[in-house]
Structure 1
Amino acid sequence: MTISDGETDPALGTNRRYSDSIDRDLAKAHLTRVAAAGQLETLTTAELQLDAVARTVDPVPKPVRAWVRFGGEPTLVYAEACMWTPRAVAIRFKIGEREYRCWVWASAVEALSE
């Protein structure tokens, strides 16, 4: 399991003195490798059905944690929810300097306190 922005799989060992810094660096490096190895997947037009369901556009995107896939590799990222329907959420997030945008199922998104 990959987690961006400083969280790692609890199965990994840590260095007590520098654990936060090391964990954050490892997570960023892994996320960069995953993003480079595959294309970001997004929901299809048929799955979204944007012409048949109401959607909400938020002028102030909300912080979330969401599962995305790069070339089939599931990865947990910190993102912003920009738009949503009852079943799907449009998110944006950065890896390094590059911004990514995609639609994911609502069940793959967890709201974070601001």
Structure 2
Amino acid sequence: MGTNKRYPHLGSQLAEERELREARKRGALHSLSADQLRLQSQVVTVVPERMQVWGLTWLRFGDVDVRSTVLVKRWTSDAVGVEVDVDGEKLRCWVWQGACQRLQNRVDGWR
């Protein structure tokens, strides 16, 4: 079987979506706790609605970890608030900043 020359990232994207669906069945999406975030003492930067910032990070559903392309919604000096779409449902969580790699555009996570 050949490769998709028009959308070379499509196979990786579909595999990630399948992994997210399977992981979602294993449990809820984990997020950092309020004690870990310390939002009352941290400056939170919010990404404007007209702007999209993409990242690549590890997400945990129940006991399963999935590396996923995410939309960055906000951040502090320690953490990043991200959003991921799983079958049309937008899920949000906080991850440690060191665990999130910024991408120039969405498809870079699937190359």
Q: What TM-score bracket applies, with the shorter chain setting the length?
A: 0.7 to 0.9
Aligned pairs for 1:62-73 within 5 A:
62-73=53-64
Establish whether residue 79 from structure 1 lines up as the match of residue 64 from structure 2: no
Establish whether residue 28 from structure 1 lines up as the match of residue 13 from structure 2: no
The amino acid of 2:29's aligned partner reads L
Alignment length (residue pairs): 99
Q: TM-score when scaled to structure 1?
A: 0.76
Q: Secondary structure at the match of 1:17?
A: coil
Q: Secondary structure at the match of 1:36?
A: helix
Aligned mates of 2:100, 2:15 — CA distance in 1? 23
Establish whether residue 100 from structure 1 lines up as the match of residue 85 from structure 2: no
Q: Which runs of 5+ in 2 are unaligned?
A: 106-111
Higher relative contact order (CA 8 A, sep 6+): 2
Supply the RMSD in Å over aligned alpha carbons: 1.9
The amino acid of 1:75's aligned partner reads V
Establish whether residue 56 from structure 1 lines up as the match of residue 41 from structure 2: no
Identity %: 24
